[in-house]
A and B are shown apart, each in its own frame.
Chain A
């Protein structure tokens, strides 16, 4: 099964894990801010009030950064590492940074596009179709080859 295109369940579980990771990071950031506030003014401490817009924006940015860094470095985020998946381009090589950024923005903006892989004959989500990437089973820890000159 190594190298075959991954199905929707694996990818969905991986994305769910990634989402949990990002939400945990967001919570960590929130508590870190609260801790700093407490250290600065312990008596007048109140929990920081962040609007949903702020939180959403922060979470969205965090998610994009997380996905981009993961895909551009090893081709996998933590969720995809757990599920043994790897994002590669059509040549089976690692995504370049810009393509990883585009894919991360697309995934964060339109996550429902993942489910296109259910009906896609090549198990490609909408983001895969747009950036010409693919997600494969790859349990091996070795890194995929890089592009020359990248």
Chain B
């Protein structure tokens, strides 16, 4: 843990170096330098701010490593507590003391600077003062010249050093930071996307090259074609298809010449098909459809009619033959048939009542 004195010394240390480093070039610069006191005060403020931020970040990091202490920050500094929960308090208290001391030191330095400036500005410069001052100035100029001379090399070395150091620091930082989480919590991705001109992006894409790179077979293998087919409305697709045009383009003769009908027939399990047929029901249905009785009756009727017709004709011929024979024997002149056709009918019938 840092003590307030250490903090002060760490804070004031860069102030002095800053002061020295800035004073030397400013004296050689053409524009008038700002007042020394303002420089000192501004430098102290910056250093204090940086130290404060650094301390807060350090305290935050240490707190996180020790576990969450939500209410501890609200407690008054200086109170004793358990070591684990009291760390943030002590750190905050130390920070407060440091800030206070630094501000006090800054004010003191400012006052001192103003007094010295006033004293050095008003007082005549005697020889014992001027000589050392000139010597100091000469030494400073020599140092400055050496600095100017060595500056490129130093900067180059520093740059090289930074080139080596910065990537390692960045790596170390990135290892500690979840960039995804940072982006998710700090970046408004939707706004970024709104700003993106998709049209321009698409224009810059070489779609042909992208398509050429795609392994369509692999994509198709990974696709759930059944799900895709389920989502398709086959009826709508079928309505848009002009089947007639397709069929007119198909050379069915060529297709059929390629089909091995024997192989197709060999693959058919005709017995299985027959087993699945309810032949008895089909037969009954067929018999119901066919009026078998009518067919048999018609056939028998035609047979009977032919037979009966033959008997009738033959008996009729026999009748006529016997009639002629008898007529010839009895030497009748008139033919019976002619008698009948000439109207030689029986006379008027007797009254049926006579027979009763």
Binding site for B on A (CB under 8 A): 1, 4-10, 13, 82-84, 89-91, 96, 98-99, 102, 118-119, 121-124, 131-132, 134, 137, 139
Contacts and interface: CB of A to CB of B under 8 A. Distances in A.
Contacts of A132: 346, 349-350
B26 interface: no
Nearest to A93: B349
Contacts of A90: 345-349
Contacts of B339: 121-122
A4 B337 contact: yes
Interface in B116-167: none
Contact of A4 (B315, B322, B340): B340
Given A4-B337, A98-B356, A89 B322 contact: no
Interface size class of B (residues with CB under 8 A): 20 to 34
Given A10-B315, A90-B345, A123-B323, A84 B330 contact: no
A84 B308 contact: yes
B64 interface: no
A1 B344 CA distance: 16
24 contacts: A5-B340, A6-B319, A7-B319, A9-B318, A9-B322, A10-B312, A10-B318, A13-B315, A82-B311, A82-B312, A90-B346, A91-B349, A98-B356, A99-B352, A99-B355, A118-B322, A119-B330, A121-B336, A121-B339, A122-B336, A122-B344, A123-B323, A132-B349, A134-B346
A150 to B, nearest CB: 9
Contacts of A137: 312, 316
A103 to B, nearest CB: 9
Given A7-B318, A98-B356, A121 B346 contact: no
Contacts of A84: 308, 312
Contact of B323 (A7, A13, A82, A96): A7
Interface in B322-356: 322-323, 326, 330, 332, 334, 336-337, 339-340, 344-350, 352, 355-356
Nearest to A129: B346
Contacts of A118: 322-323, 326
Contacts of B355: 98-99, 102, 131
A72 B348 CA distance: 20
A41 B100 CA distance: 147
B320 interface: yes
Chain B interface mostly: helix
Contacts, number: 74
Contacts of B350: 132
B94 to A, nearest CB: 136
B345 A139 contact: no
Interface string B234-278: 000000000000000000000000000000000000000000000
Given A98-B352, A98-B355, 19 more contacts: A4-B340, A5-B336, A5-B340, A7-B315, A7-B320, A9-B315, A9-B319, A10-B312, A10-B319, A82-B311, A83-B311, A83-B312, A90-B345, A90-B346, A91-B349, A121-B336, A123-B336, A132-B349, A139-B312
Interface in B282-341: 308, 311-312, 315-316, 318-320, 322-323, 326, 330, 332, 334, 336-337, 339-340
B356 to A, nearest CB: 5
B11 to A, nearest CB: 142
A9 B126 CA distance: 192
B340 A7 contact: no
Nearest to B341: A4
Contacts of A102: 355
